[in-house]
A and B are shown apart, each in its own frame.
Chain A
């Protein structure tokens, strides 16, 4: 993508806020969105991450005005917009399917929102040139959407969103129609693009890699509620509950039961060779049963079981497998890397800082 000088005429600061937003499609069923409150900062890239069917699209469509909330408020730029139609919300949306107008060429697709705004011809042409050169599609202006590749369609959709100079971008899995190779580079381009444009963006995805790579902050959603809202680092390092812990990371966090609690640790926190240095009490010793290894080139995964629960360790490919008797190998995890969850509620037991110091109760070792 080329990046000519950016020009933004936006006058309103755009913060998006939802207050206790609920959407119930059928009277009997569970709500698709069940009381979501979140607030973006101006210019933020906020990612809504969650499994398929958790209500991400519904939430985004309510912010866009395409779906009417059952209850709750939506604010854009500190103004309640519940009763405003989509066209009055000064937003731009990119659908998963890109929703290009099939009967118009690329130029008319991009200028369509400008015609609604009744701009004069010269201004429209100038903006179309501006947006299409940012996205590198100035050669395609006379083509019809059906003559474009998936990646080109995505750029046209972005250009059409861009010319509106909206307060907020709403993007619904915009990369999911691209092949894996193209997706990685498009992700990178999108991030550079958003940072330079500086427009508040709400981005929906079910792909944790996309979410971690793109988001200033991530809202992890499940069953229509926010499980955790934080920076990618916070979400990964200090998951608020077992859902977040096991939804992020591949392989996800291991959870084993110890003294009535669930003890979580990331696969990469596992050490096969017990370190000689340091305080012995700062290490948790466990025994992995039925250990198998899977070689992946730069690293290897060790699969096994602890008390019948599957556990995965990720170590450098050069790490030798310790001598094992009957498939049993000893592993150690630094207590600083342990995350303790309540067994019944699945919620984190104590704040992040506390998990570093191990309490005597958790000193049991395998």
Chain B
């Protein structure tokens, strides 16, 4: 009897030990994999920062270890970028274009997606998909007819050409995107608000929009990012330095003939990428999670 108990206890501890072992192993694997991905994602950023501060003599000698500073780091490249190119103007242009495009997109997309999900009945769905298909036409084809439109409006060589053109692809995609979010809204809360003394517009503003905030933020992030990195139209429509955005400006001013100003190019990219990455992280953590739960019993 005693031996049985003892051996039973033994097996028990053994079992528990094995379970704990498995758990620890699982954690280790998880962290190794996660760290691997994090490093992989961080590598371009690290490379940009590292290169930014390298002197020419360091960067261009093949014998040097590329992962460390062989010569002392220098501010020279950032000085060059900031003072000898129109980089500050590029940034202002980019911000202006991106913000205006985001505003236009939101202003069009919210009513459009609302109408397509809520007011058009069964046609809305197919209409939404048709609108989405427009997004799939490649810009390399579309810029030919769009050049005509831009010229007719007298917007050649102006950043306002981009403000005009970018919504043609942010709107179709974002309408379709937001329709998905609107479909998840329990419509009774809008009707309830109308019963509770609000007009339809007020009801949408106070119930539907707050509940769809994650969707609206997704639209903001998507159209902002697109405006930041769009290249084909920006290259096609704008030639003067004072009208260029970062994506094209840096490319045309820091590659002179066959000379690449690598460190300044890297600096230009990093200076835009870091604030945007931080901003997105902040928004994502803050808003995306668990916003629509508990509207109706479920």
Cβ–Cβ < 8 Å partners of B211 in chain A: 102-103
CA distance A212 to B196 in the complex (A): 30
B295 within 8 A of partner (CB): yes
Which residues of A83-102 are within 8 A (CB) of B?
A: 85-87, 91-93, 95, 97-102
CB distance from A165 to the nearest CB of B (A): 12
Q: Are A66 and B297 touching (Cβ within 8 A)?
A: no
CA distance A102 to B193 in the complex (A): 12
B191 within 8 A of partner (CB): yes
CA distance A93 to B195 in the complex (A): 7
Cβ–Cβ < 8 Å partners of A146 in chain B: 293-294
CB distance from B188 to the nearest CB of A (A): 4
B73 within 8 A of partner (CB): no
Cβ–Cβ < 8 Å partners of A144 in chain B: 294
Q: Are B195 and A91 touching (Cβ within 8 A)?
A: yes
CA distance A134 to B31 in the complex (A): 53
Binary contact track A134-149/B, C-beta < 8 Å → 1, others 0: 0000000000111110
Q: Are B199 and A87 touching (Cβ within 8 A)?
A: yes
CA distance A160 to B296 in the complex (A): 15
Point out the residue from B192, B200, B210, B291 that lies within 8 Å of A95, measured CB to CB.
Answer: B192
A153 within 8 A of partner (CB): yes
Q: Are B198 and A116 touching (Cβ within 8 A)?
A: yes
Q: Are A64 and B295 touching (Cβ within 8 A)?
A: no
Q: Which of A92, A97, A150 has the most CB of B within 10 A?
A: A97
B292 within 8 A of partner (CB): yes
Q: Are A145 and B197 touching (Cβ within 8 A)?
A: no
Q: Are B189 and A101 touching (Cβ within 8 A)?
A: yes
Q: Are B294 and A86 touching (Cβ within 8 A)?
A: no
CA distance A97 to B296 in the complex (A): 5
CA distance A146 to B294 in the complex (A): 4
A68 within 8 A of partner (CB): no
Cβ–Cβ < 8 Å partners of A150 in chain B: 297
Chain B: interface size category: 20 to 34
Which residues of B185-220 are within 8 A (CB) of A?
A: 186, 188-189, 191-200, 202, 206-207, 210-211
A113 within 8 A of partner (CB): yes
CA distance A101 to B292 in the complex (A): 9
Binary contact track A187-216/B, C-beta < 8 Å → 1, others 0: 000000000000000000000000000000
> Given A87-B197, A87-B199, A147 and B294 touching (CB < 8 A)?
yes
Q: Are B189 and A99 touching (Cβ within 8 A)?
A: yes
Which residues of B277-298 are within 8 A (CB) of A?
A: 291-297
Q: Are B295 and A99 touching (Cβ within 8 A)?
A: yes
Considering only CB atoms, which chain A residue lies closest to B191 in the complex? Answer: A66
> Given A66-B191, A93-B192, A103-B291, A98 and B197 touching (CB < 8 A)?
no
Binary contact track A104-137/B, C-beta < 8 Å → 1, others 0: 0000000011001100000000000000000000
A177 within 8 A of partner (CB): yes
Cβ–Cβ < 8 Å partners of B293 in chain A: 102, 146
Q: Are B191 and A99 touching (Cβ within 8 A)?
A: yes
Q: Are B189 and A102 touching (Cβ within 8 A)?
A: yes
Q: Which of B198, B291, B292 has the most CB of A within 10 A?
A: B198
Q: Which of B188, B196, B293, B295 has the most CB of A within 10 A?
A: B196
CA distance A235 to B211 in the complex (A): 45
Point out the residue from A98, A113, A145 that lies within 8 Å of B196, measured CB to CB.
Answer: A113
Which residues of B155-212 are within 8 A (CB) of A?
A: 186, 188-189, 191-200, 202, 206-207, 210-211
A349 within 8 A of partner (CB): no
**Complex A-B: 27 CB contacts under 8 Å:** A65-B194, A65-B195, A66-B191, A85-B194, A86-B195, A92-B196, A93-B192, A93-B195, A95-B191, A95-B192, A97-B188, A97-B297, A99-B186, A99-B188, A99-B189, A99-B296, A100-B294, A102-B292, A103-B211, A103-B291, A112-B196, A112-B206, A116-B202, A145-B295, A146-B293, A153-B297, A177-B297
Extra 12 A-B pairs, beta carbons < 8 Å, given A65-B194, A102-B189:
A66-B195, A87-B196, A93-B192, A99-B295, A101-B189, A101-B193, A102-B292, A103-B207, A112-B193, A145-B294, A146-B293, A164-B197
Taking Cβ atoms with an 8 Å cutoff, the residues of B that contact A are 186, 188-189, 191-200, 202, 206-207, 210-211, 291-297
Shortest 4 CB-CB contacts between residues of A and residues of B: A146-B294, A116-B197, A97-B296, A102-B295
